[in-house]
Amino acid sequence: MRIAILSRNKNLHSIRRLLQEAKKVGVECFVINPLDCQLVVEGRSPRVLVNGQELPEMDAVLPRIGTSITDYGLAVVKQFEAMGTYVVNTSQGIAESRDKMRSLQILSHARMRVPSTIMTRGSKNLRAVLQTVKEMPAVLKILRGTQGVGVMLLHSPVSVSSVLDTLAALDEEVLVQQFLKQGAGKDYRLFVVGGQVVATMMRTAPQGEFRSNIHRGGEGKPLSLPASYRRLAVRAADIFHLGCAGVDIMDGPEGPTLLEVNSSPGFEGIEKATGRNIAAPIIRFIVQEIRKKRAQARRAKRKKPAAKKTRARKR
């Protein structure tokens, strides 16, 4: 079996762990920088070249695409989809989950609980913003921010107005969101693989900070969450057609509330916090999906001759 991992950095913890676990079960893994890929559309035979050389046939592709190359990375994923290769996280799922506003629209449409949110530019509609977030403080997020960057906690209507005008002048679209004071300073990261939660941790913000991201100095601790939280995470990953996802949940006034679904979650922090092996279930899941696809292909191949014989007898 051959698996292509789309990543710009083969030295990342997550990539090294995936390679280790793949080697244990005899699976070949190729770490491919999406920016090194050339996409050939020619007749009915799309192809992928890597540094000018045609890539051997892959059984599966695991996208680990950074936000800085989302557009090109998605084009590479779409090319593999066009070639009929099994892709762990679909191009549509990656695009929709990565778009902060679009992801909230999809989750809300699916009747899943998300924070009250308004997308706006400038302060001219400040009243609508304040009515949406209900009370101060409010959370402001830049659409292009990741790992807690571009997320601010604003404590008064004056500060909301000032920041909105400043960001509008910088040509930034923003989301203003209800602050979930019930879960202030902490959230839960649930790691979902193949429709199952394989690890959970609580992330706690450092003193004086409200963002609990590990990259912002947050601390991860293992914990067991109620089944309702696990069902929420699994359903969220399924809605975006993500075979592997990190789902972030906070306690809200009406119960567990979805914050974000991450299509390319790192797992160094959650492995350290929980002692769980995250890479192994990812590789097992991919191997299972490859075997399913091969079995389907064999069944389809056996049906074709039978169909031809039936047509011949009718003649």
pLDDT at residue 208, rounded to an integer = 59
> In 3D, which of 72, 93, 54 has the Cα closest to residue 6?
72
Per-residue confidence (pLDDT) for residue 123, from 0 to 100: 83
Between 310 and 83, whose confidence is greater?
A: 83
Q: Quick one: fold of 2-88?
A: Rossmann fold (3.40.50)
pLDDT of residue 9: 93
Q: How confident is the model over 142-154, as a mean pLDDT?
A: 75
**pLDDT > 80? residue 151:** yes
Q: For residue range 167-180, what is the model confidence (pLDDT) as tens digits?
A: 888 888 889 999 98
Identify the band that residue 89 occupies on the pLDDT scale cut at 50, 70 and 90: very high
Question: Which carries the bigger pLDDT value, residue 313 or residue 42?
Answer: 42
Average model confidence (pLDDT) across the chain: 90
CB 3 within 8 A of CB 59: yes
Task: Look at residue 145 in the predicted model and tell me its pLDDT.
Answer: 57
Count of other CB atoms within 10 angstroms of residue 292: 11
Q: What is the DSSP track for 223-241?
A: ----HHHHHHHHHHHHHTT
Cβ atoms 164, 123 nearer than 8 A: yes
SS3 assignment for 258-294: EEEEECCCCCHHHHHHHCCCCHHHHHHHHHHHHHHHH
Q: pLDDT tens across 3-37, in order?
A: 999 999 999 999 999 999 999 999 999 999 999 99
> What phi and psi values does residue 224 have, to the nearest 5 degrees?
-105, 125
Backbone angles phi, psi at 190, to 5 degrees: -110, 125
List Cβ neighbours of 58 (8 Å cut-off, separation of 6 or more): 2, 3, 4, 30, 80, 85
Question: Going by CATH, does the domain composed of 116-179 fall within 3.30.1490.20?
Answer: yes
- For residue 220, pLDDT over 90 is answered with no
Amino acid letter at 14? S
Angle between helices 91-98 and 70-82 (to 10 degrees): 160
Report the pLDDT value the prediction gives residue 314, as an integer from 0 to 100: 54
Q: Which of 278, 296, 206, 307 is nearest to 20 (CA)?
A: 278
> Which residue bears the tokens 């003649």?
315
Q: Which amino acid is at 180?
A: L
Can you read off the two tokens belonging to residue 226?
A: 């109620």
What pLDDT is recorded for position 120? 87
Does the structural domain 183-274 have CATH classification 3.30.470.20?
yes
DSSP states of 100-150 as a string?
HHHHHHHHHHTT-----EEEESSSTTHHHHHHHH-SSSEEEEETT--TTTT
Give dist(CA 41, CA 178) in Å, integer: 46
**What whole-number distance in Å separates Cα of residue 134 and Cα of residue 155?**
12
3-state secondary structure at position 184: coil
Q: Which residue shows structure tokens 């699916």?
A: 110
Task: Give the pair of three-digit tokens for residue 225.
Answer: 């969450």
- Percentage of the chain lying above the pLDDT 90 cut: 65
> Where do the domains of the chain lie?
2-88, 116-179, 183-274
Q: How far is CA 49 from the centre of its chain?
A: 26
Q: What letters, b where the CB count within 10 A reaches 16 and e where it falls short, cover 2-21?
A: bbbbbbbeeeeebbebbbeb
Supply 289's token pair.
Answer: 């999906």
| Dihedral sign of CA atoms 219, 182, 259, 191 in order | positive
Tokens of 41: 């559309």
Which residue's structure tokens are 């979930």? Answer: 180
